[in-house]
Each structure stands twice: as C-alpha cells, then as structure tokens.
Structure 1
Amino acid sequence: MESIFSTMIVLLLLSFSCLISTEALTSNNGNITIKWDLMNWTPDGYVAVVTAYNYQKQRSVPGWKMSWRWTRKEVIWNMFGAKTTQQGDCSMFKGNIPHSCVRKPTVVDLLPGTPFNQQIANCCKSGVLKPGLESAFQLSVGNAGNSVKTARMPANFIFTAPKQQYICGPSKNVRPTRFITADKRRTTTALMTWNITCVFHKAT
C-alpha cells in the first residue's frame, strides 16, 4: 500500500513539474523574451529590431549571447548595437560584402563606448541585462522575403550567458508592436512581430 502511495506522489510531482515547464515557456513572467520586429522592407529583405527583455525578477544576465538558424540563405548586411562573432564565407558577394554570411550566427552586445553612429536605443551595455530591463540591436537581412507572405522567422534560437543556460521555445507570430516617438506625438507599428520565450534552465 505504501509503495502504491509513493508511486502516486512521484507521478503527481512529475505532472506538476511538466505543467510548470509548459507554463514557463508561454508566460512573460520569470523569463527572457526575445521580440523580433520587422520595421521596413528592403529590395532583398527587411530591417528588424531585435529586443531581449529580462522578465526575471532577481536574476541579472551578464554577457549574453544570442544565436539562431536561418531557414533560407539569409545574410546580415549590417548591424547596429551588436555584432556577430564570425563573418563566415561571403566569397560569393562582389563589391558590397555582408556583415555575416553564417547560417547560424551568434550575436553579442557592444561596449558602452561604442561610437554613437553604431548604436540604437537600449544597446551597448557589454551584454549586461539586468532584471526588468531590455537590450536591443538592429540588423538588415538580405536574401530574405520582403513581404508579410514571404518573410520567414529564424529557427532554433539559443540564449546563453556565462554560468547560465536557457531553453528557448518556438517563435510565435504575434500582434505587431506599436512604437511611440520620443515627443509622444506619433505612433508607428511594426510590419510583423515574432516572440521567442527563453526560460532559465540551470547554472553551469
């Protein structure tokens, strides 16, 4: 009888643990939420602003890195507020060379002293993402779809930091983000917005 009761307790705990994990991946509380906002179209792709929000109440993220896998043959023409760790093989391009031709790019934040013309709002903090704050960068993506029907979201997002591991869920197409200008007199809307939720997995 005791063994049956013990087995039932274990099964209940496992079910509860799975429920928490599922809810964590779909909640904006206690996680890192990555927002990918398409701001405008270009002849061969789009310009996007990518923002990581730290919704964890007590855990700071020092030295974050973000990576993903392109679903086509996309390249990054240029970036502001961050950079990729590798350029990759761009030998097929003549003249204008992309910032990155890697299919699985890894992005890192820039330093606070970065020249102003290479920054955007909420960037350049040496990768330090404190609780309740955000970090952002902008990138121009080429060899990509340039309409809401043809643009494809990158897959297999990975978010890491020294001594911290996160598990990222799938990207979701959500309501486009609305932006308010600095003078608060004008509102603009992203063309498309995707969200990716990453939950803390373990300390390493």
Structure 2
Amino acid sequence: MVASGQGADVTIIYNVLKAFETYYVAQVTITNHNPTHRIDNWRLKWDWTRQEFIHSIRGAYPTLMEQRGCIFGPQGSFYKDFDFSDVVNCQRTPEIADLPPDLANNPIKGSNPFCCRNGTILPPSIELGLSIAAFQLRVYKMPPDLNRSRIVPPMNWQLNGATYQHYQCGQPVLTEPDTLHESSIGTQMAVVSWTISCWKKRLEGLARRCCLSYSSFSSNMAIPCPTCACGCPSAHVQRCNSSASAVPVPWNALALPFEDRTKLKQSTPCGDNCGVSIHWHICSEYDNGWFGRITIFNWDSADIADWFVTMQMDQAASGIENVYSFNTTFLEGVNNTIFMHGLSGLNYIIGKKNGGKNSHIPGKQQTVIEFSRRRTPGINVLGGDGFPTKVTFNGEECSLPQTLPRFDDHGRIEGLLIALCCLFLVIVTGIISVRVLT
C-alpha cells in the first residue's frame, strides 16, 4: 500500500524491510499521483546524515560507482576486513536512476517489481502499475547506530526528471508501517516506514514544446499556432516577430511542414517551431449533439512512446459520449478535463519521415469524438464552447490560438466535405469505438 501525502504530486515511501545490527534492507517506492503529469528519466537524490553507504542495489543504479569515500573515510577504519570492491556507492549524496527494460529480469540487478522502464513514470490515469517505480538497497550503518532498532532515514530528498520536470520535496515523515504483501496466510508489514511528499515546481520562462490549432466546418481556414509559440531559431530572430498574429491557412495545410506552407503565400515568415502540434476541428453539429476531431502531429524524428493528451473544455467536457480511436477518461474534479491516450499497441506516435522532394511527413494519430447535448444544454459550439481552453501533451501545456475560426459561406462547402470525412472515420473505426470512462 502506498499512501498519498496531503495532495502531493508524488510521494516517496522509504520502507525498511529487514533490520540487522550493522545494516538494513530498504525499498524506495516512487508514486505519481498527478493524473495529468508524467516523469521521464527520473533521478533521485538524498543526503546520508549518519555516514551510511550503499552496499548493493536492485531495480536501479547509482549514476556514479564510488568506493573511495569508504576506503579512505571512517567507514574503512571501522569495517577493517570489509571488501569494499563490491560496494556500489559511498557518496554522501548519491544519485539513483532507473534501469533499462532489458535488465528487468536480471537476477542481480533487476527482478524487482516496478523497475526497469528507462526512468518513465506515467500518470495513474493510464495505469496504476505504470505510475510507480521501486528499487531495493542494502545500507550499512556506522557507530553509534549499530542497533537493529536504530535507523535514520536519508534527508533532503530531490526528485528530477527531464529538463522541465523538477519537484520540491519535504523531509521524511514517520508513518504507520507500510503493507508490503498480502496473501491468504497473512499480511507482511514493513519494519518502519517514512513518507516524503513532493510537489512539481512551476517553472517560468520555459519555451513551449507543443501547440494547438483550430478549425471548424463553418470555415475553410484554420487558425494555426501563434508565431514562435515554441521559440524562434537564433538565425531567424531578426525577421521573426513573436507577438505577430498567426495568419489563417487552409485546414489541409496544417499537415505540411512550415516551409511548404509559406509557398501558399498565406503564412507568416516564421512558424511555431514546435515538435508536436495538435489540431482541433469541429466536424459537424446537429440538434442532439456534435462531432469533433483531434489530430496529433509529431514533427520530431524520434518516436513518442506512451503519449497522452489532456483537453480542458469548460462548457463541453461533461457532454463527451464516444471516442472512436483513443482510450479516453473524463477526469472528475480536474477542471472539466478529458484525458486521452493510445490504445494497446498504438500508444506511440512515429517520428517525422522523409516524404521525398525535400519535404517531410509527420507522424500522426487522430480520432473523432462524439458529444451529446443532454448534459450541456444551451452550449454554443461554434461560438467558443466547442474549443479547448487548455491542452497538454505528455504533461506539458500547449500554446493556444489567439482567435477562433470565422464563419464564412465559402467555407461551408469545404466544411461539409470535412464533416463527411469525420463521418467516414466514425464508420471505419466504429468497431473499436471506446465508451468514455467516468
């Protein structure tokens, strides 16, 4: 059992499994409680305050294998006949990282539940088991703590992930012994347990990495992402105005690389420069409901695994009825937010490929979403209620368009064609229609 710490984004449980006079065995469990955030390439640090050292570790590894601190320190003087060549780390502040998947079944380094995912901890909205990481370590103690019952947890915990994922952690709090294993013959409890609560830092000034565009059946023009939404290349900064409004483009131009859109002479000199772009299109509207379509483009060369999207729709989210190609959940109590991720076997978006003739084709996934008016009477779909007010991709907030698509008569003809495309997608993918979970 892993306890949640006062609404923390992440909790770390330090469980002592076995206790001896000179050493103990502990399990460290990291649990992500935030339904819309993930951690990539996690790194965990702490301070030993009693001259302890890590003899061995399973399910993770120290980023520095270091014995000198013990050999030339007080540990070497006390443990005179000890073979320190097998000790994995003697630093006062070790840094621990996850193992790769190919070591998951290694009997010495792996074979620990919730390990070996290259440092990826997904939100519980996808799967509870994937929102947990764990490893075990054998810790040797020093005088005057040579007593089975004398155990002091590490202090000053630090949890970080990718460049934009940093957490502020509190000090360990002694809690009731954690439940380690339950079976028909009884329950195994930890010797002693501490909980460390961590909250994600809100970092200001970071460039966006994804952006959103809008279109609807009432217009033949789409509103793209803002200019330089994810930054401007230094070589273009002189001719790029990051505050300039994005110029509407034909809806089908959004699948083109930006340099090809400029040939249409309906684009600004500078693009959004985002690795991921998401397009939201309102396909059609009728008396009892309406259809929308979300398309995700991956403009980077690397594939994106275990992706997820959250979409906040202040007036429309509670009306979601069916999603035809993604796993989808309406997150109760999370600001009218819809959570979407790939179906089994489709939980990745391939990278950008060479399309020939000096052009590129982005990786893409899309689905049609059906909304009902039963729970959202009076909704003004085209007037703004049918467009997201906040979107995140893999936990990162995307830049939103500055205006909505305008109604125009010419656009309604093309809009009807797009609506037919949406209907075709519904028919084709109906066999894998996903009822929304609430």
TM-score (norm 2): 0.39
Q: Aligned-pair RMSD on alpha carbons?
A: 1.9
CA distance in 1, matches of 2:184, 2:30: 23
Q: Return the alpha-carbon distance in structure 1 between the equivalents of residues 33 and 20 of structure 2.
A: 32
Aligned residues: 177
Q: Does 1:109 align with 2:98?
A: yes
Which of 2, 6, 14 is equivalent to 1:36? Answer: 14
Aligned-pair CA distance for 1:124: 0.7
Q: CA offset at residue 72 of structure 1?
A: 1.1
Unaligned 5+ segments in structure 1 are 1-24
Q: CA deviation at 1:30?
A: 4.8
Question: Which structure has the bigger radius of gyration?
Answer: 2
Once the two structures are superposed, the pairs formed by residues 81-160 of structure 1 within 5 Å of their partners are 81-88=59-66, 89=68, 90-92=70-72, 93=76, 94-97=82-85, 98-114=87-103, 115-117=105-107, 118-119=109-110, 120-132=112-124, 133-144=131-142, 145=145, 146-148=147-149, 150-160=150-160
Does the 8 Å CA contact 1:30/1:57 hold for their aligned counterparts?
A: no
Give the aligned partner of residue 5 of structure 1: none
User: Match of 2:42, as an amino acid?
Assistant: W
**AA aligned opposite 1:95:** D
Q: Tell me the residue number matched to 1:191.
A: 191
Kept in 1: contact 2:17–2:25 (CA 8 A): yes
Q: Deviation at 1:170?
A: 1.3
Q: Is the CA contact (8 Å cut-off) linking 1:157 and 1:168 kept in structure 2?
A: yes
Structure 1 residue ranges (4+ consecutive) displaced by more than 6 angstroms after TM superposition: none
Shift of 1:179: 2.2
Of 22, 26, 29 in structure 2, the residue corresponding to residue 51 of structure 1 is 29
How many percent of aligned residue pairs carry the same amino acid?
Answer: 27
Is this contact kept in 1: 2:59–2:99, CA < 8 A?
yes
Q: What is the letter of the counterpart of residue 141 of structure 2?
A: N
Equivalent position amino acid for 1:68 in 2: W
- 1:38-88 CA-partner distances (Å, limit 9, x unpaired): 000134120000000000111011111000000111000000000111133
1:128 alignment partner AA: T
CA distance in 1, matches of 2:8, 2:48: 27
User: Alpha-carbon deviations, 1:119-145, whole Å to 9, x = none?
Assistant: 211111110001122000000000254
> Does residue 62 of the first structure (1) align with residue 40 of the second (2)?
yes
Provide the TM-score with structure 1 as the length reference.
0.80
Greater relative contact order structure (CA < 8 Å, 6+ sep): 1
CA 1:184–1:202: 2 relative to 1, 3 Å:
farther
In 2, the alpha carbon distance for the partners of 1:156 and 1:85 equals 18
